């Protein structure tokens, strides 16, 4: 694979860190960034030694959204980019079996907000904010944002946030359920890495199947979810990690999970 041009990819033990790397353009998305991010997330998903992923950005902000300076290039081109490039990159985050933590400094706007919220866990710098600016330039939310926001905060608040392009500060993001917690900006990436390391010590299969279940919850009835959970639980019960977890609990020691 050719080197990534606009994204950095690093590993530290069982943790992979993927960072958007166009700080001079506030990590705004162009075609190359979309390609590199998809490649990086696919690398993390395919690497059996990686158990958790930190997703961040270099520079002052997580991402300012789409790179408008690159031009919109017409509706058909935008449709193609969203369906064939950004869509697969978003799904790579949502569908990988490993937990992904987005670490947001400065701001996450537009398609950058979509990517931040697609992660499984969201850590924000205490002076950061979220922004859905689409309506101010005559556009609709994209990158799955019109699905994520109503699901997370309800239709009325989601619609208002989208059409009024409200800046939502970090603490309010936590209270609304859009973020898990905030930390001082200087501690953001260290805290995200520590969180990922702690997740990497947990049973990988349990984390993966919990993610699958919760990602499917919106499309299943309650009865269907009970049955789906039963199928997933059967996989967990038969795993070596479950036996290790039970043995460690009974003998009062820390479990050593292997992902089997």
* pLDDT (tens digit per residue) in 198-230: 999 999 999 999 999 999 998 999 999 999 999
What percent of the chain clears pLDDT 70, i.e. is strictly above it?
98
Are 148 and 93 within 8 A, CB to CB?
no
Nearest to 188 by CA among 58, 35, 24: 58
What is the model's pTM?
Answer: 0.93
pLDDT the model gives residue 3: 84
Tokens of 256: 């050593």
Residues 6+ apart with CB under 8 A from 229: 213
- State how beta strands 121-125 and 168-169 pair: unpaired
The DSSP letter of residue 219 is: G
Sequential DSSP letters for 131-151: E--GGGGT----TTHHHHHHH
For residue 70, pLDDT over 90 is answered with no
What do you get for the CA distance between the two ends of the chain, in Å? 29
| 98: Cβ contacts below 8 Å, ≥ 6 apart | 44, 45, 50, 51, 52, 53, 204, 207, 208
User: Is pLDDT at 72 greater than 70 in this prediction?
Assistant: no
Residue 242 has pLDDT above 70, yes or no: yes
DSSP-derived 3-state class of residue 235: helix
Span 178-195, average pLDDT: 98
What are the tokens at 121? Answer: 């866990």
Summarised one tens digit per residue, pLDDT across range 4-14 is 999 999 999 99
pLDDT(99) > 50: yes
How far is 177 from 125, CA to CA, in rounded Å? Answer: 15
How many angstroms separate the CA atoms of 28 and 25, rounded?
6
What pLDDT is recorded for position 2?
53
**pLDDT for res 1:** 45
């Amino acid at each position: 694979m050719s080197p990534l041009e606009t994204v950095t990819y690093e590993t530290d033990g069982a943790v992979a860190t993927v960072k958007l790397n166009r700080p001079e353009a506030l990590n705004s998305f162009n075609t190359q960034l979309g390609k590199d991010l998809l490649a990086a997330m696919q690398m993390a998903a395919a690497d059996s030694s990686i158990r958790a992923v930190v997703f961040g950005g270099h520079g002052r902000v997580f991402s300012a959204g789409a790179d408008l300076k690159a031009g919109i290039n017409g509706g058909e081109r935008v449709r193609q980019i969203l369906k064939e490039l950004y869509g697969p990159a978003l799904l790579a985050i949502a569908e990988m079996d490993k937990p992904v933590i987005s670490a947001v400094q400065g701001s996450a706007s537009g398609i950058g907000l979509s990517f931040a919220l697609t992660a499984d866990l969201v850590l924000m710098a205490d002076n950061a904010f979220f922004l859905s600016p689409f309506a101010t330039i005559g556009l609709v939310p994209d990158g799955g944002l019109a699905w994520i926001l109503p699901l997370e905060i309800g239709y009325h608040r989601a619609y208002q946030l989208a059409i009024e392009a409200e800046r939502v500060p970090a603490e309010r993001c936590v209270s609304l359920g859009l973020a898990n917690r905030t930390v001082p900006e200087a501690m953001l990436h260290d805290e995200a890495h520590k969180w990922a390391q702690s997740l990497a010590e947990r049973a990988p299969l349990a984390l993966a199947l919990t993610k699958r279940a919760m990602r499917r919850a919106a499309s299943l009835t309650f009865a269907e979810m009970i049955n789906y959970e039963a199928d997933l639980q059967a996989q967990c019960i038969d795993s070596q990690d479950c036996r290790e977890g039970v043995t460690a609990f009974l003998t009062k020691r820390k479990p050593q999970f292997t992902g089997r």
